[in-house]
Amino acid sequence: MTADTIAINQQMDQFDGHHSVWLFGYGSLIYKADFPYLERRPASIANWTRRFWQGSHDHRGTPDAPGRVVTIIEEAGAICHGMAYLITPEVFAHLDHREKNGYLRLAIAIAFEEGDSVEGLVYIATPDNTAFLGAASEQEIARHIARSAGPSGPNSDYLNHLASALRELGRHDQHVFEIERHLAALKD
Ligand code: SIN
Q: How far apart are CA 105 and CA 114, in angstroms?
A: 25
Q: What local confidence, expressed as pLDDT, does residue 12 receive?
A: 76
Check if the beta carbon of residue 61 is closer than 8 Å to that of residue 125: no
1 falls within a domain: no
Closest ligand 1 atom to residue 26 Cα is: 3
62 falls within a domain: yes
**Rounded to the nearest whole angstrom, what is the distance from the C-alpha of residue 27 to the centroid of ligand 1?**
4
Q: Report which of residues 188 and 87 the model is more confident about.
A: 87
Domain count, the chain: 1
- Does ligand 1 come within 6 angstroms of the Cβ of 26? yes
Q: Is the confidence at residue 7, as pLDDT, over 90?
A: no
Going by pLDDT thresholds of 50, 70 and 90, the confidence category of residue 6 is confident
Q: Is the confidence at residue 130, as pLDDT, over 70?
A: yes
| Catalytic residue flag (residue 99) | yes
Q: How high does pLDDT run on average in the chain?
A: 95
**Rounded to the nearest whole angstrom, what is the distance from the C-alpha of residue 32 to the centroid of ligand 1?**
9
For ligand 1, atom 2, the nearest C-alpha belongs to: 27
**74 membership: H or E segment, kind and range:** strand 67-87
Indicate which CATH number applies to the domain containing 63.
3.10.490.10
170 falls within a domain: yes
Cα of 164 vs its chain's centroid, Å: 15
45 falls within a domain: yes
Closest CA to 16 of 88, 85, 122: 88
Q: What is the extent of the structural domain holding 73?
A: 6-187
Q: What would the pLDDT profile of 15-53 be if each residue is shown by its tens digit? A: 777 899 999 999 999 999 999 999 999 999 999 999 999
118 falls within a domain: yes
**Strand pairing partners for 108?**
120
Q: Is the confidence at residue 13, as pLDDT, over 80?
A: no
The pick from 103, 106, 158, 159 for probing ligand 1's pocket by mutation, whose C-beta has the most ligand atoms within 8 angstroms, reads: 103
pLDDT average, residue stretch 89-99: 93
Indicate the Cα dihedral angle 78, 81, 87, 89, nearest 10°.
-30
The pick from 26, 53, 124 for probing ligand 1's pocket by mutation, whose C-beta has the most ligand atoms within 8 angstroms, reads: 26
Which of 74, 75, 99, 138 is an active site residue? 99
Question: pTM score > 0.85 for this model?
Answer: yes
Checking phi first, is residue 79 left (phi over 0); if not, alpha (psi -120 to 50) or beta? beta
24 falls within a domain: yes
